[in-house]
């Protein structure tokens, strides 16, 4: 590994969780890190632009430091079977100079439904896996995985938000 780089960013924590019991969290004064949260299953309510909104599978939430955050998870009971439908999510918290610079140069919304993008979820799972190897010195790997993750999210969200252009089929030749 190379010598420490002060311009790096790091992953504070990352994981996947299936909530089978109610869970609530509130940071009224704002977070001290960047928080990425992806709803994988079930629904919840989260604070988005000052109001609580229903979050459905495929919704990605991104909160920068200083932004208030609130989450209310109420797993559903399936009446016929009596089982609980979990509300599952991926989450990642990070901080650092590179993230600060990246966020300052993007205009991503707090909430976007990105569907189940294979690349995003694969990167997320890889970050979770690497984060669990805490006994090893993986700062450089985590820095680059986080950068790749953020740039991939930016690309995916940009492709969703961009108007879809149609290419006119005016002169097809089958000769």
Rg (CA), the chain: 19
Q: Exposed e or buried b for every residue in 61-84, given b needs 16+ CB within 10 A?
A: bbbbeeeebebebebeeeeeeeee
pLDDT at 68: 97
Would you say residue 163 has pLDDT above 60? Answer: no
pLDDT value, residue 172: 42
pLDDT digits (tens, 9 = 90+) for 95-109: 999 999 999 999 999
- Number of continuous H segments (helices) and E segments (strands) in the chain: 3, 11
pLDDT for 171: 42
- Over the stretch 44-66, which tens digit does the pLDDT of each residue have? 999 999 999 999 999 999 999 99
Retrieve residue 122's tokens: 């694969």
The pLDDT value recorded for residue 165 is 42
Contact 29, 68 (CB under 8 A): yes
Q: Name the percent of the chain lying above pLDDT 70.
A: 85
Residue 30 pLDDT: 95
Strands (E), 49-147: 51-55, 59-63, 69-73, 76-77, 84-85, 87-96, 111-113
- Sorting pLDDT into bands at 50, 70 and 90, what band is 175? very low
The average pLDDT across 125-137 equals: 83
Looking at residue 76, what is its pLDDT? 82
Is the model's pLDDT at 125 over the cut of 50? yes
Task: Please return the burial class of 104, using the count of CB atoms within 10 Å of its CB with bins 0-12, 13-18 and 19+.
Answer: exposed
Q: How far apart are CA 145 and CA 77, in angstroms?
A: 37
Question: What pLDDT was estimated at residue 19?
Answer: 93
> What is the value of pTM for the model shown?
0.87
Give the pLDDT confidence score for residue 168 in this predicted structure.
45
Q: What single DSSP character describes residue 170?
A: -
């Amino acid at each position: 590994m190379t010598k420490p780089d002060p311009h790096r960013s790091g992953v504070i924590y990352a994981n996947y969780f299936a909530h089978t019991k109610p869970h609530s969290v509130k940071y009224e004064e704002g977070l001290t890190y960047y928080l990425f949260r992806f709803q994988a299953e079930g629904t919840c309510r989260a604070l988005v632009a000052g109001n609580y909104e229903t979050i459905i599978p495929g919704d990605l939430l991104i909160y920068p430091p200083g932004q208030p955050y609130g989450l209310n998870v109420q797993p559903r009971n399936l009446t016929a079977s009596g089982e609980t439908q979990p509300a599952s999510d991926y989450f990642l918290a990070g901080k650092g100079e590179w993230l600060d610079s990246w966020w300052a140069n993007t205009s991503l919304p707090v909430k976007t439904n990105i569907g189940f993008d294979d690349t995003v979820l694969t990167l997320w799972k890889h970050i979770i896996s690497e984060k669990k190897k805490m006994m090893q010195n993986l700062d450089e790997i985590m820095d680059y995985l986080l950068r790749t993750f953020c740039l991939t999210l930016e690309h995916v969200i940009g492709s969703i938000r961009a108007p879809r252009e149609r290419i006119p089929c005016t002169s097809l030749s089958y000769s």
